[in-house]
Amino acid sequence: MSIEDIKAKIKPGLVENLINEPSAHYIHILLLRELQSSAIFTTNGQDADITTVGISAADGLVEYSPVMMFKRKQTGSDRRKGKELQRNLIQIEDTMDVNKMNQESPESILYGSAAGDEAISVTSRVMYDTAYSIRDSSVLVEEKFQNAPGDAFAKGATTAIREPDFIMPGTLFPCVVTLRDAIFEELIFVLAVTKMNKRYGAATSRIGRMENHILGIYFGIEEGPANLYLSQDAARRLAASNAGVSSENLNKVLHSSVLDIKKTGQMVKESFDDEIKTLNIKALTDAETVELVGFVKEDNMKEALKIQKEKAKEFFDRVNEKPKGKKKAAKNE
């Protein structure tokens, strides 16, 4: 199938031109984020972000504590990558300062910005949610200590310094990135960011290497399953593949030392596909997904950004038509 054929197929999830009122056009990118080096996901600067939830087993409820990858850890990193790409490909400068973002920037029109000199705020049309590890934090979080620095051969007793909790390589986070009321070129841009961004969390110049496996692309008029559900159901399905969803088998999955990335990805996709059977959401085939993701190359990205820039300017000019001095919000909600 050609790119034009794929574009026509996912048309129900896209808009032709940027609009200022919500119109229920959704594109969902199903991901399995695979941590390939240690990473730091912490709110207080020390402890890993974790929570406690339950998973239903055949013989009761199993509690476990997954690691959380808060949505801001995803959006902040993806936005930096997006601004980097447009700076390289179409020479548009932009900043991460929300009050000083360049509103002629395709990235800021898509991901959102506060009111600038033109007194217009733009709400993000790329939707993220917190992602949850499939396995329990007890097998994923590593505490490290180091002695106080010094270069003497012999020295007295020193107090060990605790470093922030590290999330171990091999941690898997099922998640969905959703575009709302986006044009086709914006989808190409988000796929480029997702495909090319490799760093998440703190201290990304040294750690935080991540691989984003794109499992599927979906389109429709509503949102799909939540990230937490996908993590829980993937664990259940992995347990079911090994003699049933008993509490014992489920705990073996949750506390296993490693998960098979290919098998886990298959379980996450099956979970999403089964859940949307009762929703107004349809899927590209695996072959169509591969074709569309493969289309995301430098020349096509550059052309998509140019079109984004033109349509963003048209949108910005249109919503900015107002009496001088009056503030108007342009929210793509």
The model's pLDDT over 271-329, given as tens digits with 9 standing for 90+, comes to 999 999 999 999 999 999 999 999 999 999 999 999 999 998 888 788 777 554 444 45
Cα four-point dihedral sign 16, 188, 190, 312: negative
Rounded CA-CA distance 49/172 in Å is 15
pLDDT recorded at residue 312: 86
Question: What pLDDT, on the 0 to 100 scale, is given for residue 328?
Answer: 47
Residue 144's pLDDT is: 65
**Is 97:78 a contact under the CB 8 Å cutoff?**
no
Cα torsion 257, 259, 260, 266 to 10°: value is 170
Q: Using only C-alpha atoms, what is the Rg of the chain? A: 22
* 141-142 vs 161-162, strand pairing mode: unpaired
pLDDT at residue 327, as a whole number: 46
Which DSSP string do the residues of 254-280 spell out, in sequence order?
A: HT-S---HHHHHHHHHHHHHHHGGGTT
- Residue ranges in the chain modelled with pLDDT below 50: 146, 155, 157-159, 324-328, 332-333
d(CA 21, CA 122): 12
Tokens of 174: 């099922």
Residue 175: helix, strand or coil by DSSP? strand
- The pair of three-digit structure tokens given for residue 30, joined into one six-digit string: 């199903």
Q: pTM above 0.85?
A: yes
DSSP state of 21: S
